[in-house]
Structure 1
Amino acid sequence: MKKSRRLQAGLLGAALAALLTLGGCGQTEPVAADEPLLPKNDGRPAKLTVAIESPEDIALINTNGALERVMKEIIAKYQADFPDTEIELVYDARGEKIAAGGGNAPDIELFTGQDPYYKHKEQLPRNTDWLLDLTPYEEAWTDEGTVSNPASLIMRFMGGDNIYALPFSYDQIMLYYRWDWFHEYNLDYNEEEKASVNVWNRFLVAGEKLGDKGRLAIDKTVKPYLFDALLWSWVGQRRVADPAFGYYQPDGSTIFTLESAQNAAETYEQVLKLDMGAEDPIGAFIDGEAGMYLGTGMDMVRLSKEMPGKVNEDWYAVGLPKGIGGKTAPLLGWSAWGVNKDSPEPEKAVHFLWYMTNADNNTHMYMELKDYGVKPLYREIEAYEPSLLEGGWYGETDLLNTPSYRYASAPVVFEESTGVNNPVFSSLLSGLESGDVTAGEMLVGLDKEYARLLEEYTAGGGKLPWQTDNTEGNP
């Protein structure tokens, strides 16, 4: 497995120091470089508890016991180096803190953000005041590798530059299409006339070109998230104040008032009209009734077993098409590790979290749990595991190494009023699909709703991260 950047840098530094000394440069000791702030374990006796969600509660991270097995392997390796640090795994059902060891809450918890898998309101994110700010230790992770764009969004899910979470799993929209059918059609046409799914404007006419082979099936879960994807891909992230507050401009007004938002809404309406309305959309793609399928990344588990032909040869899984403002996608849901700020051993907890998510262990966890939605933290995953250049997960892995494929989200701090969980949001998008609401009326309603929510948030003491950090929006 590939060595982490820190180890490589350390070996290089030692070699350079030796060359300077042997070369008679008048310096017997190397100059100490600025060392990053890294968490430490002083070796004194301590006990840590790590809480993972009850597997039957959250479908996204239901690993059927595999997570517990992998965690025990990592804990055993850690305790070989730190034998006086006891680590206990406990279950934390529906995000409610449980008493563990002396009545303390767990030191490290696996918690979830907003996602379409919630079945009960009580599973919505609880107050995040319990989370320890991990920002001082940021270099512990950035020195391990290049943090991917989706991982960066999750790490900073509260907005601004502060880090409160380390990603464990997430899901996103993927476009699946029959490459063999597209290739067969394109043999007779020049580059401009070919059917393509790379850009939204060409995606909209691809189905018409291929006829019955170009029909589109859309998973019902991802439909409302497609609006977010189109919205951000038309508006562009430079107009968004903060990726974690994806509906707002730097002055606090919503992006729903922009002309580009109107274009995005009209495009969204066109995409909805292309949907063939299959009762089982993924089944329609498998059976050849549809040549394109907009679904979830986790659909790859079923497709890799049932889809005819070979993935990455006859059919492909790719990211969403490009809009006028680039490519920006939402996450359908995610889970992440957080450290309890009231932990009796906060630095040891951060140290173990760092160990658990270093390049080696993160890669191992991904390879063991990728069929359960677990994702790699670092872009260099292909270098760590070249086998990922093949197989069903290559499409998502490739997106990690596409810096221009950006991510944003509705404000998680709004909890049940966030994005698709907001009844006004859902009602307006449903109205557009049924024809009861125009694109313009939908945007007016969304602007009014999210202006109200932001006013309530700030009136209650909530801070806008881009104003707090004196930023002007995204670089």
Structure 2
Amino acid sequence: MLALCTTAATASADAVVKWLHLELNPEYVKIWRGIADKYQAEHPGVKVEMQFLENEAFKAKLPTLLQSADAPSFFYSWGGGVLKQQQATGALKDISDKMKADGGAWGKSYNPAALKAVTFDGKVSAVPYKMGTVSFFYNKAYFTKAGVDAASIKTWDDFLGAVKKLKDAGIVPIAGGGGEKWPIHFYWSYLVMRNAGQQGFDAMKTGAGDGFVAPEAVKAGEQLAQLGKLEPFQPGYLATTWPQALGVFGDGKAAMILGFETTEAFQRRNAGDGKGLASDNIGRFAFPVVAGGAGKATDTLGGINAWAVTAKAPPETLDFLAYLTNAENERMMAKAGMILPAAVGAEDGVTNPLLRESAKQLETSTWHQNFFDQELGPSVGRVVNDASVAIVSGQMSPEEGAQAIQDAVEMDKM
């Protein structure tokens, strides 16, 4: 462990470290609690309090909470523009000096891409925790029944062809979570990446050229609209939450789901019988490329998550975070199937076959992009999510969706 701030002998009396999370899996929380309890035993006088908020409530209440006397010491962050804005408001602590101390020992203990994702204008305000990538998971039995070969799905046209085959076989192709909107933005975001490539997306978000009304962004919307016209999702998907969508997949009511690296574990938890699909009945493939696009098959979309440290957090917070995210503890969390670790040296803890596939994809990623709704900040991110759902459901044209996002970008700059 990196001893950054305190030791058992120097910890201030009754120091309370408040940990705000949004983890729903009780087994994962139990592992965290065990780490915290062990830390407390080694650091008398330090108490780690775990606090929970549900995902949407977390997003809604956090801005107010950060300005209150009840602000947590640290909290879950998706990084990107949201974290940058929180840093700009003064709500977060600058921990750059701690990361750079002793030749940068603490900072070097994390994957460079993970640390870069929480660094803005040279300042670090969050501790890397995990990395992840979004990909398709599928029911092998349904693919066999419909005559679909997952290995042959390389292009967007291949994917649309698979959707049609599944429908012809009487199988709902995709479990969709349109109720929370952000699960649908994965499709539009990936299509933008595949059409524009990294250089093109960087130009969009910095306002160069046509911004988000660039031809590549409109094309992404057209391709998403193509998918929507096939009616690929289960009935009522526009009111379906993400946990419910995982349940739809786990209950065998849809053949595919575009989701996080933890999809296998969470489909079990959300399935009606609590068991879901057997592990050997779940396959995985990367989001396809598009014909003529600048993006690569090895470009990935996914989270780079971290623990953001609040401005008034007690100094013991940093010591605990160094402990929580050290290679030993991250390896243990990886073995439990919780994370793809950000800590260097913890990679060998990833033993689950599907998680290993995600880890290998990240290892060979040519461009790992944080979720658009996080990267672009909360105001623009909400419009990205809204527009993605509106386009796929036919409520908005691809051009209108692109313009709405560009308008939000320009408004955010005012």
Using the size of structure 1 for normalisation, the TM-score is 0.63
* Secondary structure of the structure 2 residue equivalent to 1:69: helix
Say if 2:83 is the partner of 1:130: no
Distance 1:440 1:357 in 2: 44
Select the residue among 252, 255, 262 that pairs with 2:218.
262
Distance 1:434 1:99 in 2: 43
Equivalent residue for 1:89?
48
Paired residues, what number?
A: 369
Equivalent residue for 1:76?
41
Q: Deviations over 1:242-299 (max 9, x none)?
A: xxxx9513x5566313222122111111222344331465555445554333244444
Select the residue among 216, 227, 235 that pairs with 2:173.
216
Distance 1:344 1:378 in 2: 23
| 342 and 441 in structure 1: CA distance in 2 versus 1, 3 angstrom threshold | closer
Say if 2:410 is the partner of 1:448: no
Contact 1:399–1:405 (Cα < 8 Å) also in 2: no
Which of these two proteins has the greater Rg computed from alpha carbons? 1
Distance 2:309 2:379 in 1: 25
Equivalent residue for 1:363?
331
Mean Cα displacement is larger for which, 268-277 or 165-174?
Answer: 165-174
| 59 and 75 in structure 1: CA distance in 2 versus 1, 3 angstrom threshold | closer
Q: Displacement, 1:176?
A: 1.0
* Secondary structure of the structure 1 residue equivalent to 2:174: strand
Distance 2:377 2:33 in 1: 28
Percent sequence identity is 18
Q: Displacement, 1:435?
A: 2.7
Q: Deviations over 1:98-141 (max 9, x none)?
A: 769xxxx76x41244499xxxxxxxx979751322333415334
Equivalent residue for 2:396?
437
Contact 1:146–1:380 (Cα < 8 Å) also in 2: no
Distance 1:284 1:338 in 2: 33
Equivalent residue for 2:186?
225
Equivalent residue for 1:471?
none
Say if 2:368 is the partner of 1:406: yes
Q: Displacement, 1:362?
A: 1.9
Distance 2:88 2:123 in 1: 17
Q: Displacement, 1:431?
A: 3.6
Distance 2:310 2:245 in 1: 41
* Secondary structure of the structure 2 residue equivalent to 1:230: helix
Contact 2:136–2:256 (Cα < 8 Å) also in 1: yes
Distance 2:389 2:110 in 1: 42
Distance 2:105 2:254 in 1: 46
Select the residue among 287, 311, 315 that pairs with 1:320.
287
| 257 and 394 in structure 1: CA distance in 2 versus 1, 3 angstrom threshold | same
Equivalent residue for 2:124?
163
Equivalent residue for 1:417?
379
Distance 1:209 1:426 in 2: 28
Say if 2:14 is the partner of 1:50: no
Distance 1:390 1:442 in 2: 39
| 209 and 380 in structure 1: CA distance in 2 versus 1, 3 angstrom threshold | farther
Within a 5 Å distance, the mapping from 1:1-400 to structure 2 comes to: 39=4, 41=6, 45-47=10-12, 48-53=15-20, 58=22, 63=28, 65-77=30-42, 79=43, 86-91=45-50, 95=62, 96=65, 108-113=73-78, 128-136=89-97, 137=99, 139-141=104-106, 143-144=108-109, 146-147=111-112, 149=113, 151-152=114-115, 154-156=117-119, 159-168=120-129, 173-179=134-140, 196-209=152-165, 211-212=168-169, 215-220=172-177, 221=180, 222-241=183-202, 248-249=205-206, 255-279=211-235, 282=246, 285-286=249-250, 288=252, 290-304=254-268, 306-311=275-280, 314-323=281-290, 324=293, 325-326=295-296, 327-331=299-303, 336-342=306-312, 345=315, 349-368=317-336, 370-371=337-338, 374-378=339-343, 380-383=345-348, 385=349, 388-391=350-353, 393-400=355-362
Distance 2:319 2:29 in 1: 27
Distance 1:412 1:339 in 2: 18
Equivalent residue for 2:55?
none
Equivalent residue for 1:29?
none
Contact 2:92–2:310 (Cα < 8 Å) also in 1: yes
RMSD across aligned positions (CA): 4.2
Matched residue type, 2:283: Y
| 298 and 361 in structure 1: CA distance in 2 versus 1, 3 angstrom threshold | closer
Q: Displacement, 1:359?
A: 0.8
* Secondary structure of the structure 2 residue equivalent to 1:217: coil
Contact 2:175–2:245 (Cα < 8 Å) also in 1: yes
Contact 2:137–2:284 (Cα < 8 Å) also in 1: yes
Distance 2:340 2:18 in 1: 19
Structure 2 residues not aligned, in runs of 5+: 53-60, 236-243, 269-273
Contact 2:16–2:49 (Cα < 8 Å) also in 1: yes
Structure 1 residues not aligned, in runs of 5+: 7-37, 116-123, 457-475
Distance 1:366 1:337 in 2: 17
Contact 1:214–1:290 (Cα < 8 Å) also in 2: yes
Q: Which has the higher helix share?
A: 2
| 203 and 375 in structure 1: CA distance in 2 versus 1, 3 angstrom threshold | same
Distance 1:253 1:51 in 2: 45
